[in-house]
């Protein structure tokens, strides 16, 4: 099965060489594509030097638009599995097989690499308080809307099979899309599974999930969920 | 001068100001005429309603002076909210289109990069 790693990146010139190096050091060799979300630093130049295909967005679309571009690329190039790996290096490529394997075996359509799953929580990963509060909120909202108990709704470390990423290539939420994307998958009867992974802290650069964003996150989740629930089924 | 006439004069100047500003935005290419048309029509209708003594007198004879003022205010507010929703719909639609164009451009550029790479290697 052909696997593509989609790496959305916005001003990640300092983190990408390490991440690409870690991916290349994996036992299994994966294809990767970097989606440069209109970075103002040397991201495009650095990626060119690493000989990784790059999708250069002319205007900043945010994480949702960037990841969706990667899904479109995966559809065009005929991949069977697409894996989102954040460009900040928090997603450790040594866990790639852990999240890909259930998709490969057909056990799930979407597998989330979770830091908090009950069986094996990542006790080393320190989540900032505003982010943790926002995540608990989205966990609760998702449970109320679907009955699904996902422990790590904000994790972007996800593997999807072709029907799931084909669906997302057509329609994918914007801004902080992770929780909304899960609701969309559930509405279309895709199977979602969580597996325990460990994540690394961001080494260089600034997270886009600022204090203000964290404060607004619950509101975004409510609006996003309302929009999806009110949408006509089609 | 009665309170009503003062309010009409004030309203007329405000709407004229908005109308002139809308036309200025269109003339300076900052606002598309296509998008501005519903706003210009609304501003003209408000202006005609304010200036027309016949309409004003007829409305007053029907519901009374104070009810006409409140009614005009309510209708005006609803109309403006409707126009704002219409504008937001257009903005949303354009945002989606812009996102798709942006994504398609990125995919096309990548294909171009591939072709150029093949061309350099003499594979084309």
Judge if B104 and B78 occupy the same domain: yes
Cα B99 → chain centroid? 22
Distance separating alpha carbons of residues B39 and A122, to the nearest angstrom:
56
Q: Does residue B59 lie in a domain region?
A: no
Query: Could you tell me which of B5, B107, B120 has the C-alpha nearest to residue B53?
Result: B5
**Which tens digit of pLDDT belongs to each residue from A57-116?**
999 999 999 999 999 999 999 999 999 999 998 899 999 999 999 999 999 999 999 988
- DSSP code per residue over B22-71: HHHHHHTTSS-HHHHHHHHHHHHHHHHHHH-HHHHHHHHHHH-HHHHHHH
Judge if B113 and B74 occupy the same domain: yes
**Which tens digit of pLDDT belongs to each residue from A27-54?**
899 999 999 999 999 999 999 999 999 9
pTM (global) more than 0.90: no
Put simply, the answer to whether A59 touches B106 (Cβ < 8 Å) is: no
Q: To the nearest whole angstrom, how far is the Cα of B122 from the nearest Cα of chain A?
A: 18
Give Cα separations from A125 to A12, A87, A228, B28, B90 (angstroms): 21, 18, 31, 54, 43
Chain B: residues touching A (Cβ < 8 Å) = 98-99, 102-103, 105-107, 109-110, 113-114
Judge if B80 and B116 occupy the same domain: yes
Judge if B81 and B32 occupy the same domain: no
Judge if B77 and B114 occupy the same domain: yes
ipTM topping 0.85: no
Q: Does residue B12 lie in a domain region?
A: yes
Domain that holds residue B29: 1-51
Judge if B71 and B121 occupy the same domain: yes
**Which tens digit of pLDDT belongs to each residue from B25-48?**
999 988 888 878 888 888 888 888
Query: Could you tell me which of A229, A154, A228, A151 has the C-alpha nearest to residue A196?
Result: A151
pLDDT in the model for residue B20? 93
Judge if B116 and B69 occupy the same domain: yes
Judge if B103 and B74 occupy the same domain: yes
Q: Does residue B116 lie in a domain region?
A: yes
Here the CATH number for the domain that contains residue A117 is 3.90.550.10
Strand A31-36's sheet: what is its strand order?
A: A54-56, A31-36, A3-9, A81-84, A158-161, A110-114, A192-196
What's the structural domain count of chain B?
Answer: 2
């Amino acid at each position: 099965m052909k696997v593509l790693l989609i790496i959305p990146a916005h001003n990640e010139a300092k983190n990408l060489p390490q991440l690409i190096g870690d991916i290349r050091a994996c036992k299994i060799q994966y294809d990767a594509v970097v989606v440069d979300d209109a970075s103002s630093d040397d991201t495009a130049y650095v990626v060119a030097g690493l000989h990784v295909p790059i999708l250069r967005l002319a205007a900043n679309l945010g994480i949702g638009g960037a990841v969706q571009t990667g899904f479109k690329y995966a559809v065009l190039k005929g991949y069977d599995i697409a894996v989102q790996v954040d460009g900040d290096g928090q997603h450790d490529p040594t866990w790639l097989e852990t999240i890909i394997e259930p998709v490969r075996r057909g056990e799930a359509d979407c597998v989330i690499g979770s830091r908090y799953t009950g069986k094996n929580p990542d006790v080393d990963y320190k989540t900032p308080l505003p982010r943790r509060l926002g995540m608990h909120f989205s966990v609760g909202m998702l449970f109320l809307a679907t009955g699904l108990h996902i422990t790590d709704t904000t994790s972007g470390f996800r593997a999807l099979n072709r029907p799931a990423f084909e669906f997302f290539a057509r329609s994918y939420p914007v801004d902080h899309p992770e929780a909304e994307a899960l609701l969309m998958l559930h509405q279309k009867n895709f199977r979602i599974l969580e597996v325990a992974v460990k994540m690394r802290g961001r080494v260089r650069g600034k997270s886009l999930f600022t204090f203000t964003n964290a404060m607004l996150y619950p509101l975004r989740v409510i609006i996003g969920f309302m929009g999806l629930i009110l949408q006509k089924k089609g | 001068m009665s309170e009503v006439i003062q309010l009409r004069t004030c309203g007329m100047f405000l709407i004229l100001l908005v109308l002139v500003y809308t036309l200025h935005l269109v003339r300076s290419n900052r606002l598309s005429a296509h998008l501005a048309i519903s706003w210009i029509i609304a501003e003209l209708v408000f202006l005609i309603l304010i200036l027309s003594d016949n309409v004003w007198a007829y409305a007053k004879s029907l519901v009374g002076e104070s009810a006409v003022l409140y009614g005009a205010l309510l209708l005006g507010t609803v109309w403006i909210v409707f126009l704002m929703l219409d504008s937001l719909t257009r903005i949303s639609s354009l945002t989606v289109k812009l996102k798709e164009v942006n994504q398609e451009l990125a995919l096309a550029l990548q294909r171009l990069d591939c072709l150029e790479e093949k061309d350099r290697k003499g594979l084309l």
